[in-house]
Structure 1
Amino acid sequence: MSWLAGDWTHLGAVAGKAALIYVTALAALRLGERRTLAQWTIVDTVAAVAVGAIVGRTAIASNQSFVTGAVALITLVAMHRLVSGLRARPLFRHLTDHRIRVLVADGKVRRHQLMICGLTESDLLAQLRQRGVFELSRVRFVLYEAKGGLTVVTEVHPAAELPDLVRVGLREAVDVPAGET
Protein backbone atom coordinates (compact mmCIF):
# COMPACT_ATOMS: atom_id res chain seq x y z
CA MET A 1 0.00 0.00 0.00
CA SER A 2 3.07 2.29 0.13
CA TRP A 3 2.56 3.14 -3.54
CA LEU A 4 -0.52 5.16 -2.56
CA ALA A 5 0.51 7.02 0.56
CA GLY A 6 4.25 6.48 0.99
CA ASP A 7 5.82 7.60 4.26
CA TRP A 8 3.63 10.34 5.76
CA THR A 9 6.37 11.58 8.07
CA HIS A 10 8.36 13.21 5.27
CA LEU A 11 5.56 15.16 3.52
CA GLY A 12 6.56 18.42 5.25
CA ALA A 13 10.08 17.97 3.87
CA VAL A 14 8.60 17.32 0.41
CA ALA A 15 6.64 20.59 0.57
CA GLY A 16 9.74 22.43 1.80
CA LYS A 17 11.92 20.97 -0.96
CA ALA A 18 9.29 21.80 -3.57
CA ALA A 19 9.13 25.42 -2.38
CA LEU A 20 12.93 25.69 -2.30
CA ILE A 21 13.38 24.22 -5.77
CA TYR A 22 10.73 26.61 -7.07
CA VAL A 23 12.57 29.61 -5.64
CA THR A 24 15.90 28.25 -6.93
CA ALA A 25 14.49 27.75 -10.43
CA LEU A 26 12.92 31.21 -10.33
CA ALA A 27 16.26 32.79 -9.39
CA ALA A 28 18.18 30.81 -11.99
CA LEU A 29 15.79 31.72 -14.80
CA ARG A 30 15.70 35.36 -13.66
CA LEU A 31 19.45 35.48 -14.22
CA GLY A 32 19.10 33.83 -17.64
CA GLU A 33 18.21 35.34 -20.97
CA ARG A 34 14.65 36.21 -21.91
CA ARG A 35 14.91 34.75 -25.40
CA THR A 36 14.54 31.21 -24.01
CA LEU A 37 11.28 32.07 -22.29
CA ALA A 38 9.20 32.92 -25.37
CA GLN A 39 6.15 34.86 -24.19
CA TRP A 40 5.91 33.36 -20.70
CA THR A 41 7.08 35.15 -17.62
CA ILE A 42 9.83 33.55 -15.58
CA VAL A 43 7.24 32.68 -12.95
CA ASP A 44 5.13 30.80 -15.51
CA THR A 45 8.13 28.96 -16.94
CA VAL A 46 9.31 27.77 -13.52
CA ALA A 47 5.83 26.52 -12.68
CA ALA A 48 5.39 24.71 -16.01
CA VAL A 49 8.76 22.97 -15.87
CA ALA A 50 8.38 21.99 -12.21
CA VAL A 51 4.84 20.71 -12.66
CA GLY A 52 5.92 18.67 -15.68
CA ALA A 53 8.80 17.16 -13.77
CA ILE A 54 6.66 16.27 -10.76
CA VAL A 55 3.91 14.76 -12.87
CA GLY A 56 6.42 12.73 -14.88
CA ARG A 57 8.37 11.51 -11.87
CA THR A 58 5.28 10.67 -9.85
CA ALA A 59 3.85 8.68 -12.71
CA ILE A 60 6.93 6.54 -13.43
CA ALA A 61 9.23 6.50 -10.37
CA SER A 62 8.72 3.38 -8.29
CA ASN A 63 10.20 5.03 -5.19
CA GLN A 64 7.87 8.05 -5.17
CA SER A 65 4.31 7.72 -3.90
CA PHE A 66 1.30 9.47 -5.32
CA VAL A 67 0.83 11.46 -2.13
CA THR A 68 4.43 12.72 -2.26
CA GLY A 69 3.93 13.88 -5.85
CA ALA A 70 0.58 15.45 -4.99
CA VAL A 71 2.01 17.39 -2.04
CA ALA A 72 4.88 18.66 -4.19
CA LEU A 73 2.50 19.57 -7.01
CA ILE A 74 0.05 21.39 -4.75
CA THR A 75 2.93 23.23 -3.09
CA LEU A 76 4.28 24.40 -6.45
CA VAL A 77 0.87 25.51 -7.68
CA ALA A 78 0.36 27.43 -4.42
CA MET A 79 3.84 29.02 -4.77
CA HIS A 80 3.04 30.01 -8.35
CA ARG A 81 -0.24 31.58 -7.25
CA LEU A 82 1.50 33.46 -4.43
CA VAL A 83 4.38 34.71 -6.58
CA SER A 84 2.01 35.68 -9.41
CA GLY A 85 0.00 37.78 -6.96
CA LEU A 86 3.11 39.38 -5.48
CA ARG A 87 4.23 40.45 -8.97
CA ALA A 88 1.58 43.20 -8.75
CA ARG A 89 3.86 44.93 -6.24
CA PRO A 90 6.61 46.92 -8.00
CA LEU A 91 9.42 45.88 -5.65
CA PHE A 92 8.66 42.17 -6.04
CA ARG A 93 8.09 42.52 -9.80
CA HIS A 94 11.62 43.93 -10.15
CA LEU A 95 12.94 40.77 -8.50
CA THR A 96 11.05 38.37 -10.78
CA ASP A 97 10.61 40.16 -14.11
CA HIS A 98 13.05 41.56 -16.60
CA ARG A 99 12.96 45.31 -17.14
CA ILE A 100 12.16 46.81 -20.53
CA ARG A 101 15.25 47.59 -22.60
CA VAL A 102 15.64 50.13 -25.42
CA LEU A 103 17.40 48.28 -28.26
CA VAL A 104 17.12 51.03 -30.89
CA ALA A 105 16.89 54.77 -30.24
CA ASP A 106 16.46 57.26 -33.07
CA GLY A 107 17.56 54.75 -35.72
CA LYS A 108 20.73 53.69 -33.87
CA VAL A 109 21.19 50.14 -32.64
CA ARG A 110 22.25 50.03 -29.01
CA ARG A 111 24.67 47.11 -29.19
CA HIS A 112 25.41 47.06 -25.48
CA GLN A 113 21.70 46.58 -24.75
CA LEU A 114 21.53 43.77 -27.32
CA MET A 115 24.48 42.08 -25.62
CA ILE A 116 22.86 42.35 -22.18
CA CYS A 117 19.70 40.74 -23.58
CA GLY A 118 21.61 37.91 -25.26
CA LEU A 119 20.58 39.08 -28.73
CA THR A 120 22.64 39.77 -31.83
CA GLU A 121 22.15 42.57 -34.29
CA SER A 122 21.10 39.89 -36.81
CA ASP A 123 18.33 38.76 -34.40
CA LEU A 124 17.08 42.32 -34.13
CA LEU A 125 17.22 43.07 -37.85
CA ALA A 126 15.39 39.84 -38.67
CA GLN A 127 12.59 40.80 -36.26
CA LEU A 128 12.34 44.27 -37.79
CA ARG A 129 12.16 42.88 -41.33
CA GLN A 130 9.43 40.45 -40.24
CA ARG A 131 7.46 43.46 -39.03
CA GLY A 132 7.84 45.25 -42.35
CA VAL A 133 10.55 47.65 -41.19
CA PHE A 134 13.32 47.88 -43.81
CA GLU A 135 15.18 51.07 -42.81
CA LEU A 136 16.65 51.71 -39.36
CA SER A 137 16.51 55.43 -40.02
CA ARG A 138 12.70 55.18 -39.85
CA VAL A 139 12.76 53.58 -36.38
CA ARG A 140 12.43 55.87 -33.39
CA PHE A 141 12.52 53.12 -30.74
CA VAL A 142 12.59 49.38 -30.38
CA LEU A 143 11.61 48.29 -26.88
CA TYR A 144 12.45 44.78 -25.70
CA GLU A 145 9.50 44.04 -23.45
CA ALA A 146 9.56 42.17 -20.15
CA LYS A 147 8.14 39.00 -21.72
CA GLY A 148 10.59 39.03 -24.65
CA GLY A 149 8.46 40.67 -27.34
CA LEU A 150 9.47 43.73 -29.36
CA THR A 151 7.61 47.01 -29.64
CA VAL A 152 8.65 49.01 -32.70
CA VAL A 153 7.90 52.75 -32.81
CA THR A 154 8.47 54.13 -36.31
CA GLU A 155 7.64 57.79 -35.78
CA VAL A 156 10.82 59.59 -36.81
CA HIS A 157 9.99 63.28 -36.47
CA PRO A 158 11.77 64.45 -33.27
CA ALA A 159 8.91 66.76 -32.32
CA ALA A 160 6.29 64.01 -32.69
CA GLU A 161 4.52 63.31 -29.42
CA LEU A 162 5.14 59.79 -28.20
CA PRO A 163 2.04 57.70 -27.59
CA ASP A 164 1.18 57.27 -23.88
CA LEU A 165 2.01 53.56 -23.77
CA VAL A 166 5.43 54.16 -25.35
CA ARG A 167 6.20 56.83 -22.74
CA VAL A 168 5.17 54.42 -19.97
CA GLY A 169 7.48 51.77 -21.45
CA LEU A 170 10.36 54.22 -21.63
CA ARG A 171 9.79 55.24 -17.99
CA GLU A 172 9.99 51.57 -16.96
CA ALA A 173 13.00 50.84 -19.18
CA VAL A 174 16.59 50.36 -18.10
CA ASP A 175 19.23 52.74 -19.50
CA VAL A 176 16.89 55.05 -21.41
CA PRO A 177 18.60 57.44 -23.86
CA ALA A 178 18.95 60.97 -22.48
CA GLY A 179 15.92 63.22 -22.93
CA GLU A 180 13.50 60.39 -23.76
CA THR A 181 11.60 59.85 -20.51
Structure 2
Amino acid sequence: MEHLLGGAGEVGWIALKALLLYLSAVVGLRFGSRRTLADLSPFDFVAAVAVGAIVGRIPNAHDASYLTGVATLAAVLAGHWCVTRLHASPSVGHLLDPAPRLLVLDARVLERDLAQCGLTHADLYALLRRQGVEDLGEVRFAILEARGQLSVIRRTSGRGDMGNLIQPVAARQARVEPQP
Protein backbone atom coordinates (compact mmCIF):
# COMPACT_ATOMS: atom_id res chain seq x y z
CA MET A 1 0.00 0.00 0.00
CA GLU A 2 2.95 2.32 0.68
CA HIS A 3 3.96 2.03 -3.01
CA LEU A 4 0.56 3.34 -4.11
CA LEU A 5 0.05 6.08 -1.55
CA GLY A 6 3.61 6.85 -0.48
CA GLY A 7 4.53 8.09 2.93
CA ALA A 8 2.49 10.99 4.28
CA GLY A 9 5.64 12.96 5.04
CA GLU A 10 7.02 12.41 1.56
CA VAL A 11 3.78 13.60 -0.08
CA GLY A 12 3.84 16.73 2.06
CA TRP A 13 7.44 17.55 1.08
CA ILE A 14 6.67 16.97 -2.60
CA ALA A 15 3.66 19.29 -2.38
CA LEU A 16 5.70 21.93 -0.57
CA LYS A 17 8.53 21.67 -3.11
CA ALA A 18 6.02 21.98 -5.97
CA LEU A 19 4.38 25.03 -4.40
CA LEU A 20 7.72 26.73 -3.75
CA LEU A 21 8.94 26.03 -7.30
CA TYR A 22 5.68 27.34 -8.74
CA LEU A 23 5.97 30.54 -6.71
CA SER A 24 9.63 30.87 -7.70
CA ALA A 25 8.68 30.51 -11.38
CA VAL A 26 5.92 33.11 -11.05
CA VAL A 27 8.32 35.56 -9.40
CA GLY A 28 10.95 34.88 -12.06
CA LEU A 29 8.47 35.36 -14.90
CA ARG A 30 7.21 38.62 -13.39
CA PHE A 31 10.70 40.07 -13.82
CA GLY A 32 10.59 39.19 -17.52
CA SER A 33 9.12 41.41 -20.19
CA ARG A 34 5.39 41.48 -20.83
CA ARG A 35 6.14 40.23 -24.32
CA THR A 36 6.80 36.85 -22.80
CA LEU A 37 3.14 36.37 -22.00
CA ALA A 38 1.51 38.61 -24.59
CA ASP A 39 3.15 37.42 -27.81
CA LEU A 40 5.01 34.13 -27.64
CA SER A 41 8.00 33.83 -29.93
CA PRO A 42 9.66 30.43 -30.41
CA PHE A 43 12.17 31.44 -27.71
CA ASP A 44 9.37 32.37 -25.32
CA PHE A 45 7.65 29.06 -26.03
CA VAL A 46 10.82 27.08 -25.30
CA ALA A 47 11.32 28.99 -22.04
CA ALA A 48 7.69 28.39 -21.02
CA VAL A 49 7.95 24.66 -21.73
CA ALA A 50 11.26 24.44 -19.86
CA VAL A 51 9.82 26.25 -16.83
CA GLY A 52 6.81 23.93 -16.89
CA ALA A 53 9.04 20.87 -17.12
CA ILE A 54 11.16 22.05 -14.20
CA VAL A 55 8.16 22.88 -12.02
CA GLY A 56 6.54 19.55 -12.93
CA ARG A 57 9.60 17.31 -12.66
CA ILE A 58 11.67 18.57 -9.73
CA PRO A 59 9.07 18.04 -6.97
CA ASN A 60 8.83 14.32 -7.80
CA ALA A 61 12.56 13.82 -8.23
CA HIS A 62 13.97 12.30 -5.06
CA ASP A 63 17.50 13.23 -6.09
CA ALA A 64 16.68 16.92 -6.77
CA SER A 65 16.19 19.46 -4.02
CA TYR A 66 14.22 22.68 -4.10
CA LEU A 67 17.53 24.52 -4.38
CA THR A 68 18.42 22.46 -7.46
CA GLY A 69 15.06 23.36 -8.99
CA VAL A 70 15.47 27.07 -8.26
CA ALA A 71 18.98 27.03 -9.73
CA THR A 72 17.65 25.35 -12.86
CA LEU A 73 14.77 27.84 -13.09
CA ALA A 74 17.18 30.73 -12.63
CA ALA A 75 19.44 29.41 -15.41
CA VAL A 76 16.53 29.02 -17.86
CA LEU A 77 15.09 32.44 -17.00
CA ALA A 78 18.53 34.08 -17.25
CA GLY A 79 19.05 32.48 -20.65
CA HIS A 80 15.64 33.71 -21.75
CA TRP A 81 16.42 37.19 -20.45
CA CYS A 82 19.64 37.22 -22.53
CA VAL A 83 17.81 36.11 -25.68
CA THR A 84 15.14 38.77 -25.06
CA ARG A 85 17.81 41.47 -24.76
CA LEU A 86 19.56 40.22 -27.90
CA HIS A 87 16.20 40.25 -29.67
CA ALA A 88 15.84 43.96 -28.85
CA SER A 89 19.28 44.71 -30.29
CA PRO A 90 19.14 46.02 -33.88
CA SER A 91 22.37 44.25 -34.80
CA VAL A 92 21.25 40.81 -33.60
CA GLY A 93 17.45 40.92 -33.42
CA HIS A 94 16.95 40.45 -37.15
CA LEU A 95 18.79 37.12 -36.93
CA LEU A 96 16.38 35.74 -34.33
CA ASP A 97 13.12 36.48 -36.15
CA PRO A 98 12.38 35.93 -39.81
CA ALA A 99 11.56 39.05 -41.81
CA PRO A 100 7.91 39.70 -42.62
CA ARG A 101 6.99 38.14 -45.96
CA LEU A 102 4.59 39.48 -48.58
CA LEU A 103 2.33 36.59 -49.66
CA VAL A 104 -0.42 38.38 -51.59
CA LEU A 105 0.04 41.44 -53.78
CA ASP A 106 -3.05 42.96 -55.43
CA ALA A 107 -5.15 39.78 -55.08
CA ARG A 108 -2.35 37.65 -56.56
CA VAL A 109 -0.71 34.92 -54.48
CA LEU A 110 3.08 35.13 -54.64
CA GLU A 111 3.76 31.43 -55.16
CA ARG A 112 7.52 31.47 -54.54
CA ASP A 113 7.14 33.38 -51.27
CA LEU A 114 4.29 31.16 -50.12
CA ALA A 115 6.46 28.08 -50.74
CA GLN A 116 9.48 29.64 -49.00
CA CYS A 117 7.31 30.14 -45.91
CA GLY A 118 6.33 26.47 -45.98
CA LEU A 119 2.66 27.29 -46.53
CA THR A 120 0.12 25.87 -48.93
CA HIS A 121 -2.77 27.67 -50.58
CA ALA A 122 -5.07 25.97 -48.08
CA ASP A 123 -3.00 27.39 -45.19
CA LEU A 124 -3.10 30.89 -46.69
CA TYR A 125 -6.82 30.74 -47.37
CA ALA A 126 -7.52 29.59 -43.81
CA LEU A 127 -5.46 32.52 -42.45
CA LEU A 128 -7.31 34.92 -44.75
CA ARG A 129 -10.71 33.59 -43.64
CA ARG A 130 -9.70 34.17 -40.00
CA GLN A 131 -9.19 37.81 -40.99
CA GLY A 132 -12.71 37.95 -42.43
CA VAL A 133 -11.65 37.80 -46.07
CA GLU A 134 -14.31 36.20 -48.25
CA ASP A 135 -12.63 36.63 -51.63
CA LEU A 136 -8.98 36.94 -52.63
CA GLY A 137 -9.97 39.94 -54.75
CA GLU A 138 -10.48 41.92 -51.52
CA VAL A 139 -6.80 41.63 -50.61
CA ARG A 140 -4.32 44.31 -51.61
CA PHE A 141 -1.52 42.97 -49.38
CA ALA A 142 -1.22 39.94 -47.13
CA ILE A 143 1.95 39.81 -45.05
CA LEU A 144 3.12 36.87 -42.95
CA GLU A 145 4.59 38.56 -39.88
CA ALA A 146 7.65 37.36 -37.97
CA ARG A 147 5.49 35.66 -35.31
CA GLY A 148 3.35 33.80 -37.84
CA GLN A 149 0.28 36.05 -37.85
CA LEU A 150 -1.13 37.24 -41.15
CA SER A 151 -1.67 40.98 -41.63
CA VAL A 152 -4.21 41.81 -44.32
CA ILE A 153 -4.60 45.18 -46.03
CA ARG A 154 -7.80 45.27 -48.04
CA ARG A 155 -8.30 47.04 -51.33
CA THR A 156 -10.90 49.26 -49.69
CA SER A 157 -8.27 50.99 -47.55
CA GLY A 158 -8.48 54.05 -49.83
CA ARG A 159 -4.72 54.44 -50.37
CA GLY A 160 -3.41 54.65 -53.89
CA ASP A 161 0.24 54.23 -52.99
CA MET A 162 2.04 51.65 -50.92
CA GLY A 163 2.12 52.72 -47.27
CA ASN A 164 5.34 53.10 -45.30
CA LEU A 165 4.60 49.96 -43.29
CA ILE A 166 4.17 47.83 -46.42
CA GLN A 167 6.86 49.30 -48.68
CA PRO A 168 9.92 47.95 -46.76
CA VAL A 169 8.51 44.41 -46.81
CA ALA A 170 7.83 44.54 -50.54
CA ALA A 171 11.19 46.19 -51.24
CA ARG A 172 13.04 43.46 -49.33
CA GLN A 173 11.44 40.94 -51.67
CA ALA A 174 12.35 43.07 -54.73
CA ARG A 175 8.70 43.70 -55.58
CA VAL A 176 9.04 47.50 -55.68
CA GLU A 177 11.72 50.12 -55.67
CA PRO A 178 12.27 51.75 -52.26
CA GLN A 179 10.57 55.13 -51.95
CA PRO A 180 12.47 58.06 -50.40
The aligned residue for residue 26 of structure 2 is: none
Cα distance in 2 between the residues matched to 1:156 and 1:140? 8
Letter of the aligned partner of 1:149 in structure 2? Q
Contact 1:140 1:154 in 2 (8 A): yes
The aligned residue for residue 64 of structure 2 is: 64
The aligned residue for residue 28 of structure 1 is: none
The aligned residue for residue 120 of structure 2 is: 120
Aligned-pair CA distance for 1:176: 4.4
* Alpha-carbon spacing, 1:116–1:64, altered in 2? closer, same or farther (3 Å): farther
Cα distance in 1 between the residues matched to 2:168 and 2:77? 32
| Mapping for residues 1-181 of structure 1, pairs under 5 Å | 39-155=39-155, 160-170=160-170, 175-179=173-177
Cα distance in 2 between the residues matched to 1:180 and 1:103? 18
Deviations 1:45-80 (A, max 9, x none): 121011111111212122222212111101111111
Letter of the aligned partner of 1:177 in structure 2? R
3-state DSSP of counterpart to 1:102: strand
Cα distance in 1 between the residues matched to 2:65 and 2:87? 33
Aligned length: 142
The aligned residue for residue 26 of structure 1 is: none
Aligned-pair CA distance for 1:111: 2.4
3-state DSSP of counterpart to 2:155: coil
Contact 1:102 1:176 in 2 (8 A): no
Contact 1:101 1:113 in 2 (8 A): yes
3-state DSSP of counterpart to 2:166: helix
Structure 1: stretches of 5+ with no match in the other structure: 4-38
3-state DSSP of counterpart to 2:71: helix
The aligned residue for residue 24 of structure 1 is: none
Bigger relative CO (Cα 8 Å, ≥ 6 apart): 1
The aligned residue for residue 14 of structure 1 is: none
For normalisation by structure 2, the TM-score amounts to 0.67
* Alpha-carbon spacing, 1:53–1:42, altered in 2? closer, same or farther (3 Å): same
Cα distance in 2 between the residues matched to 1:44 and 1:176? 31
Cα distance in 1 between the residues matched to 2:87 and 2:70? 26
Letter of the aligned partner of 2:175 in structure 1? P
Identity %: 39
Pairwise CA RMSD: 2.7
3-state DSSP of counterpart to 1:43: helix
Structure 2: stretches of 5+ with no match in the other structure: 1-12, 14-38
Letter of the aligned partner of 2:143 in structure 1? L
Say which one has the larger Rg.
2
* Alpha-carbon spacing, 1:178–1:162, altered in 2? closer, same or farther (3 Å): closer
Contact 2:168 2:178 in 1 (8 A): no
